[in-house]
Amino acid sequence: MSETPEVTKGPVVTPLRVAIGLCLFAPFVAMLWVGSYAKVDPAFIGIPFFYWYQMLWVLISTVLTVVAYKLWQLDQRGRAGSSSAKGGASR
């Protein structure tokens, strides 16, 4: 009797992919919720809060995008490793 590898169809939701989604989604929420930062105080080196908060999110978004990319690479390596392990076992 030969076993056939299990084939999954459709998207696969894993905790790693949820973390990737949150990294990419967080900046949108932060910027679209304007009421949370539409104010002048506290000022930072003379720059009103409204402006420095948005500039801070440019940096945070960059870091979160890099983290999401690295997590995606990790996810893809894991998927490639598990598919080659399944393929090698059936031969």
Instruction: Note the pLDDT of residue 56.
Output: 93
For residue 58, give the nearest of 86, 30, 16, 90 by alpha carbon: 30
Distance from C-alpha of 18 to C-alpha of 12, rounded to nearest angstrom = 10
Helix 49-89 × helix 15-32 angle, to 10° = 160
- Written as one string, the DSSP assignment of 39-61 is S-PSPBTTB-HHHHHHHHHHHHH
pLDDT at residue 91 in the model: 45
Walk along the chain (91 residues) in steps of 10 and give the mean pLDDT of each run: 62 87 94 90 91 94 96 87 60 45
Is the overall model pTM greater than 0.85, yes or no?
Answer: no
